[in-house]
Amino acid sequence: MTHSIAVHGGAGLIRRHALSPAREQEARDALHEALQAGDRVLAAGGDAVEAVLRAVCVLEDAPVFNAGRGAVFAADGTIRMDAAVMSGADRSAGAVGAVQRLRHPIRAADLVRRTTPHVLLVGADAEERVVAAGAERCTDEELFVQERWDHFVRARAEGRVALDHDLDDAEPKGTVGAVARDAHGHVAAATSTGGLANKHPARVGDTPIVGAGTWAWDHTCAVSATGHGEAMMRCCAAARVSALMELAGLDLAAATARVVHEELPLLGGTGGLIAVDARTGRIALPFNSGGMYRGSLDTEGNLHIAIW
Ligand code: ASP
């Protein structure tokens, strides 16, 4: 049976002139490393959930992306992160919202999935609960990236709440995610983000909302979204792809294209998503923004990494 994995590092304007060759290489290398981390699990016959968790951990550690280390700042100058993981086999899901000082929010989300009767825990009480279950604490300084802070200061001065990739005169960064299909035919999705620069500190985006930013079901597909979270939520973007496959009989390419190119724009939503077909392992990576950091790797070793 075939296995495959795809990752993203966020969508947005991503102006070419704003991206230095060194930074572009750093982003491409991180995407490649994330694909390899997930692929190692899949190639050994491992589980799709563990594959997407490993891939997202790599991207959370990469300061070039807006998740974990390098996450953007909320309006009060704090770093507040959202993350979710979902297993397509049993549709178990775990998520955290507006959490601080956790090294790998995606691992925290998985602890919610595995060790609580809940799906989404938010804020300081969520941190306490996942740390008690084994999540790794870190300091604000360990997540801090100077350039993120400079973006925030500018967004605040301009009174903007922005996708970090849209802050055009800066080096872009973005939300991260992964979807995978394992050799047993199970799919999974994971997404992690610092959210929007200068967001309200209590704002939670689409990323940890099951069905909006993250979705997996063995019957259809697994999806991880990136872009304006409010539009993703109003569209139920990730679950909408699944519903179009299940109920309207669309294939993965047609379902993702419809959501990204027809439905999201009606809500003013800029962004994209990565998705894997549970039946075939085929991947779709559509976006309606200037670019989306993305990559995929399949059983045959076909590697694809692109930004524009
Ligand atoms: N979707 C994320 C949010 O709204 C942002 C992003 O994808 O960059 O929180």
Mean pLDDT over residues 40-45, rounded? 97
- Please tell me the predicted confidence (pLDDT) of residue 256: 98
Confidence check: pLDDT of 54 > 50 = yes
Centre of ligand 1 from the C-alpha of residue 165, in Å: 10
- Please tell me the predicted confidence (pLDDT) of residue 150: 86
Centre of ligand 1 from the C-alpha of residue 196, in Å: 6
Nearest-atom index, ligand 1, CA of 229: 4
Host domain of residue 18: 4-306
Which CATH number goes with the domain that contains 286? 3.60.20.30
Backbone angles phi, psi at 296, to 5 degrees: -150, 155
pLDDT digits (tens, 9 = 90+) for 202-220: 999 999 999 999 999 999 9
Mean pLDDT over residues 175-187, rounded? 97
| Residue 286 Cβ contacting ligand 1 at under 6 Å | no
Neighbouring C-beta atoms of residue 204, cutoff 10 Å: 21
Please state the domain count of the chain: 1
Q: Rounded to 10 degrees, what is the CA torsion of 184, 1, 286, 232?
A: -10
- Please tell me the predicted confidence (pLDDT) of residue 171: 40
More confident site: 299 or 51: 51
Q: Whose C-alpha lies nearest to ligand 1, atom 7?
A: 226
Q: DSSP per residue over the chain, as a string?
A: ---EEEEEEEEE---GGGS-HHHHHHHHHHHHHHHHHHHHHHHTT--HHHHHHHHHHHHHH-TTSSSSTT----TTS---EEEEEEETTT--EEEEEEE-SBS-HHHHHHHHHHHSS-SEEEHHHHHHHHHHTTPPB--HHHH--HHHHHHHHHHHHHT--B-GGG-TTS-----EEEEEE-TTS-EEEEEEE--SBT--TT---STTSBTTTEEE-TTSEEEEEEE-HHHHHHHTHHHHHHHHHHHH---HHHHHHIIIIIIHHHTT--EEEEEEETTT--EE--BSSSEEEEEEEETT--EEEE--
Q: Whose C-alpha lies nearest to ligand 1, atom 8?
A: 175
Confidence of residue 168 (pLDDT cuts 50, 70, 90): low
User: What average pLDDT is seen over the chain?
Assistant: 93
Neighbouring C-beta atoms of residue 25, cutoff 10 Å: 12
- Predicted TM-score (pTM) of the model is 0.94
From CA 204, how far away is CA 192, in angstroms rounded? 12
Confidence check: pLDDT of 166 > 70 = no
Centre of ligand 1 from the C-alpha of residue 163, in Å: 7
Mean pLDDT over residues 98-102, rounded? 97
Centre of ligand 1 from the C-alpha of residue 38, in Å: 22
How many residues belong to the chain?
308
pLDDT digits (tens, 9 = 90+) for 107-153: 999 999 999 999 999 999 999 999 999 999 999 999 988 888 888 88
- Please enumerate in sequence order all residues whose Cβ is within 8 A of that of 282, keeping only pairs 6 or more positions apart, or say none: 4, 252, 253, 276
| Residue 270 Cβ contacting ligand 1 at under 6 Å | no
pLDDT digits (tens, 9 = 90+) for 276-302: 999 999 999 999 999 999 999 988 889
Mean pLDDT over residues 20-43, rounded? 95
Confidence check: pLDDT of 66 > 70 = yes
Q: Which residue has the tokens 């394992």?
A: 182
Q: Whose C-alpha lies nearest to ligand 1, atom 4?
A: 229
From CA 262, how far away is CA 60, in angstroms rounded? 31
| Residue 196 Cβ contacting ligand 1 at under 6 Å | yes
- Please tell me the predicted confidence (pLDDT) of residue 153: 87
Mean pLDDT over residues 260-273, rounded? 96
More confident site: 13 or 227: 227
Confidence of residue 167 (pLDDT cuts 50, 70, 90): low
Mutate to test the pocket of ligand 1, among 207, 264, 273 (most ligand atoms within 8 A of CB): 207
